[in-house]
Amino acid sequence: MPEKKCQFQLVIASSRFNFFLEFDMTITSDNETKTFVKTVTTWHSARVVFSAFIAAHPELGLKDSKITFRNFCSRHGQALRKHDVMRKPAGLRSPAIFDGSRFDAVAFDLMSKKFEGEQHD
């Protein structure tokens, strides 16, 4: 059986408002090389996206803290999932992920009470 070598490279770069994720995984054996290219690039760690949202909207008067994040997810998590902006992959203990391309608009509408009937109180 030929020996397989796995090369893994993950590069994350972020600016204040945009998130860029580059992912390349190459598996090489004696006979062939297969490359995995990540095509879904808008989903990121919920905590990172939320921190960028807080920094971008000082008019909301929120502090970037673990408690603020927890309260936000507790209060608006159901609405975020309904709008397919938040997902919880693989079980309860896994961290949530947010769609970075749509989170800003939906979260701002939730925080400014546009979707008043969708809050989980």
Evaluate if residue 44 carries a pLDDT over 50.
Answer: yes
Evaluate if residue 58 carries a pLDDT over 50.
Answer: yes
pLDDT tens-digit map of 70-102: 999 999 999 999 999 999 887 667 889 999 999
pLDDT, greater one: 15 or 54: 54
Prediction pTM value:
0.64
> Mean pLDDT over all residues of the chain?
77
The percentage of the chain sitting over the pLDDT mark of 70, rounded to a whole number, equals 65
CA–CA–CA angle 54, 17, 49 (5° rounding): 55
pLDDT, greater one: 86 or 114: 86
Q: Where are the domains of the chain?
A: 5-37, 43-118
According to DSSP, residue 116 is labeled G
